[in-house]
């Protein structure tokens, strides 16, 4: 399977293809308090850390300097100043993935092959990726901790698959991710939690179908009734 999925593999879904979970592991790890859908930021943190050198490549003719407000100052309730970062003009689009396909494939193939090496790379690239992660709203300590936990749980092949899925169309694929990362020793899954009256939105349906067709991450749709799960 190629590192970057083919467009034909990622068709829209008309409904979920997952069973309802009836029991949850004892330990639940959730990124808390983000300004955007919180637990989803774990994947955006991984993307920012592992892909900053490609996204902000000085050799990319479409990279230009743009100004964003300092998110860390915002979090600390300080006046936000403009910080300047390098960003391609077509970042996050399917056109970007097509244009940079060779560099993306080369980068993914060169990323470490073991969880220990991936963790070391993650720690080494935290600092240089900070500007891109601020732009992606993936710079909080909680999301970094959750992303590191995911590296420990997920296989290196699956991690690269997630990265390839995001870079294929970042703005199109960043929504719809499940609410929770649920884990205990040697077991984990992603969980989307819904009440009896709550329904999956179109982005969530699309992610579930994409997961079934391409990502193959362990996933459960959890329905919470008034008396419990």
The answer to whether residue 169 is domain-embedded is yes
| Rounded Cα gap, residues 210 and 56, in angstroms | 27
Averaged pLDDT, 133-141: 91
Which two three-digit tokens encode residue 175?
Answer: 């929504």
Domain span holding position 186: 7-59+102-224
Q: Check the CA dihedral 15-195-177-175 and report its sign.
A: positive
Tell me the percentage of the chain whose pLDDT exceeds 90.
62
Q: How far is CA 60 from CA 1, 64, 88, 91, in A?
A: 27, 9, 8, 11
pLDDT at 229 over 60: no
pTM: 0.80
Nearest alpha-carbon partner for 45 in 184, 177, 204, 218: 177
**How many other CB atoms are there within 10 angstroms of residue 20's CB atom?**
12
CB 151 within 8 A of CB 119: yes
Answer yes or no: are the C-beta atoms of 97 and 104 closer than 8 Å.
yes
Specify the pLDDT at position 227.
61
| Residue 67: inside a domain | no
Rounded to whole angstroms, the Cα distance separating 13 from 203 reads 9
Please write the tens of the pLDDT for every residue from 79-101: 888 999 999 999 999 999 999 99
Q: Quick check: is 155 in a domain?
A: yes
The verdict on residue 82 lying in a domain is no
How far CA 146 is from CA of 13, 43, 57, 155, 181, in Å, comes to: 28, 9, 27, 15, 9
What's the pLDDT at 228?
54
Confidence of residue 18 (pLDDT cuts 50, 70, 90): very low
Does a structural domain hold residue 72? no
For residue 49, give both structure tokens.
């850390």
pLDDT at position 69 is 87
Q: Is residue 53 exposed (0-12), middle (13-18) or buried (19+ Cβ within 10 Å)?
A: middle
The kind and range of the H/E element at 171 are helix 170-173
- Asked whether residue 137 is assigned to any structural domain, the reply reads yes
- Please indicate, yes or no, if residue 162 is contained in any of the structural domains: yes
Give the pLDDT mean for 99-116.
95
Q: How many domains does the chain have?
A: 1
Task: Report the alpha-carbon distance of residue 93 to residue 171 in Å, rounded.
Answer: 6
What confidence tens digit (pLDDT) does each residue in 41-74 have?
Answer: 889 999 999 999 999 999 999 999 999 988 878 7
Is 189 part of a structural domain of the chain? yes
pLDDT of residue 32: 27
* Token digits of residue 81: 């100043």
pLDDT score for 61: 96
- Confidence check: pLDDT of 10 > 60: no
CA 210 remoteness from chain centre: 14
């Amino acid at each position: 399977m190629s590192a970057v999925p083919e467009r034909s593999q990622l068709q829209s879904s008309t409904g979920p293809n997952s069973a309802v979970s009836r029991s949850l592991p004892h330990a639940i790890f959730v990124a808390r308090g983000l300004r955007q859908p919180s637990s989803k930021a774990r994947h955006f943190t991984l993307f920012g850390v592992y892909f900053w050198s490609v996204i902000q490549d000085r050799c990319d003719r479409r990279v230009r300097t743009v100004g964003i407000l300092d998110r860390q100052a915002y979090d600390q309730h300080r006046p936000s100043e403009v910080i300047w970062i390098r960003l391609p003009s077509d970042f996050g689009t399917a056109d970007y993935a097509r244009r940079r396909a060779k560099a993306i494939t080369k980068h993914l193939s060169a990323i470490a092959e073991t969880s220990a090496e991936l963790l070391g790379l993650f720690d080494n690239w935290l600092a240089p990726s900070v500007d891109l992660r601020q732009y992606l709203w993936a710079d909080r300590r909680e999301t970094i901790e959750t992303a590191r936990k995911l590296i420990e749980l997920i296989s290196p092949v699956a991690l690269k698959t997630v990265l390839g899925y995001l870079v294929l169309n970042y703005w199109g694929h960043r929504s719809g991710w499940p609410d929770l990362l649920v884990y205990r020793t040697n077991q984990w899954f992603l969980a989307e939690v819904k009440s009896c009256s709550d329904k999956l939105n179109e982005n969530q349906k699309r992610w579930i179908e994409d997961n079934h067709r391409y990502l193959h991450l362990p996933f459960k749709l959890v329905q919470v009734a008034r008396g419990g799960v």
